[in-house]
Structures are given as C-alpha cells and as structure tokens.
Structure 1
C-alpha cells in the first residue's frame, strides 16, 4: 500500500456526504454576518445602558468597520457613541454618519499610550495636569475610575470653556 490521492470534495458530490467548498464558504459567510449583527446589537444595548441619547440609532458592522447612523442629542453624546463602538473588540474603523441636534464644538481624541495617565494627558492638552477631571468627566460613563485607562483606548478631550 502507498499514498493515494483523491479529489478533495468528491465525497460531497459522489456520495452526498460532507459539504462542498462553496457550501462551506456560504455557511461561513452567514455565520460572519450573524456574528456582526449580534455584535452590533450588543453595542446598541451598551449605548442604551449608558443612557446615551440617540434617536433612530443604527449600527452595522462589515469586517472591522462599524457604521453608525442616528441623531445624537449633542456633540458629546455623538462622540461618546463613537468611542463605545470604536473601543469595542474587533473594530478598527468607525464611519460616523450621525447628526447632532444641539451643535457644540467638537472634541479632540487621544489614543492612550503605555505610561499615560489622565494627568499627563491633561498636561499635554491643557497645560495643567490638575485638569484631568475634565477628561474623566468627558469620558463617563465609559470610564469608571480615573486610574483605569489602558493603552490603545481612545479618549475624548473636550475644549475648555
């Protein structure tokens, strides 16, 4: 006896057992779409749980890109929704299609690096490390403790009044 070669998907065609590559690909695509829909639903629930006011909120996910539609109450809410979605596992890009009911200045965004603290970030943006509570408040309820930020997390840095 020796090594025998066979057509990989012959069993699915000849005997009706197993699945063809096309059937497996179709199932994988369906599973991916279901997982993306479930992730979008979880994000919407998180936004609701955080009491962020967005009318007609709709989130769709395609690969590592999330698209957000809806009408946010204000600019801060819009930015927080973008952060909730963007800081979710598996999301690399957020396509923000939301509108804002009450217009106000846009905030800057800061990606936390290793060794960053809210005080250090406040010093960079405001020139005063003691302004860290402004950043903490601007990122509530996503942040629950000013000492618990992590590298890669994106934070809102609002303009000072």
Structure 2
C-alpha cells in the first residue's frame, strides 16, 4: 500500500540512477536509502516525497546521501538554452547566471556563448 503511494519517488530514483538504492517496507513505513549524484538530484527526490506524502510524511523514512558535494549539479546544455534560463531552472533567478559563468570560466569566455552538449558546473550557492 505505502509502496504504491511513493511509486513516483521510486521511479524517479531509477531515472536518476541512484546508487546503492534500497527500498524496504516495515510496519507500514517505507525505508528508502541510496546515493544521489548531486544535491540537486537529492532535492528532486525530496520534492517528490513531499508531493506524494505531504511536508512531513510519517510513512516514509529516506536516507539519501550525495556523492559529489563539490557542485550543486552538472548540467548538459541543450539547444536554445542560455545561462539565464539555466540559472532560473536551478535557482529560480536568471540573474544567478553570473555564478554559473564564474564556476565555468575555464571553458566559457563569454556568458552569451554556450553550446549544446557542453557540461556546465552548477555551483553550490552559499
């Protein structure tokens, strides 16, 4: 019963290729563990948990670790994207493009010139 309630979370975990993922159901509580690649992916999982179970669900216990804490995420540029659009997606603020540009100054020389298939570091914001 509880597993089906959180099936969308489990599906997302598979889509994200969560490492060492494990799911157990004990006494009506779903216990989920695993390691996300980045904090962003961990946040996606938590958002999915809250969407299915509310802000403070008591029928799921999740222990999600993060493999790479040095970055918020690694983003592969798609056609038509700009640093502003990417910043809005990750941070809700297109003006944070400056932080993304600074974190990628080794490969980017102009914030207006990014190319499909470039892998950009999305930095942790303090």
Normalised to the residue count of structure 1, the TM-score between the two structures is: 0.36
User: Greater relative contact order: 1 or 2 (C-alpha under 8 angstroms, separation 6 or more)?
Assistant: 2
